[in-house]
Chains A and B, each alone.
Chain A
Amino acid sequence: MDETQLRLDGNAAAGMLREVFVHEMSAARGACASCGAIAQMGSQHLYMYPLSPGAVLRCQYCDNILKVFVHAGEHYRLGLQGLTWLEIRDGAEAGTNV
């Protein structure tokens, strides 16, 4: 299968990330360590297979791996190797009707 058929938006990992982060993470902005592009996490390309224990977020412009998130056993492991920085809006709670 063509892997692009499996592609999702970073938005689809928002629930998984809220298991770890108190803040809403799909609206957070980050800079790609490879090409420098700045974008919201929800707009990046996500590869998350059904029944898989984790997800890979790639830069929508250069395909660099930004973030790897795994939940296995008693641990969450978060790899942020492809982000120079991540900016999270304070007060950005997912459930708030603003």
Chain B
Amino acid sequence: MTPEVRLGAAISIEGLQFAYGSGPRVLDIPSLVIEGGSRVFLHGPSGCGKTTLLGILSGVLQATSGEVRVLDRDLVTMSGSQRDSFRAEHVGYVFQQFNLIPYLSAYDNIALPCRLDARRRARLGSTSLDDAIRNVAAQLDISALLDQTSTTLSVGQQQRVAAARALIAAPELVICDEPTSSLDTDRRDAFLALLASSVARANATLLFVSHDASLGARFDQQLSLPTLNRSSRADAA
């Protein structure tokens, strides 16, 4: 939450190219900038490289070439374990589904990032981990579920637990990969409202990816990956 990051771009991409191994190029993005603190909707059909881009932005995947700056750090020049630490400290991630470690309770799932990484834990400042978990659980309306095993939760409840885990200790960047696609409309709307308010409270940048363009209106900025990604344009042609 350093001021310069807040003021500058949360994500800035220059000439990004990516291919899995020696396979075909999946991503070719000349330029992309996402302002800090904004809530961005990234839209694209299935298979256009959305998840791959998120993998690169979270530091799990390494760009083949180009510059990828996240929170003013150049991920391309960082080592794998540096990127892992970076992700643990600064990024919250919500999957489409199956977000939770099945053998941990909701509480322990939410605690996981802080237990895994001391610097993420340090972001809590003087707040205890237990308080932080209960606060974020209250925001997402899952206080009553904390002691339950993940497998006993409904899909909507699981997604809210996942959001709580992504938001714990206020990371600067929250990435959501189609988190609502397995929810019905009512639950989807409720989830999006909770997510939006929690992200706003944490002052985080939100990157929300979906194939469902109808969700875009709820966000500050809408991007279309096929438009950004020259590789998918080539595929389409």
Same complex for A and B? Answer no
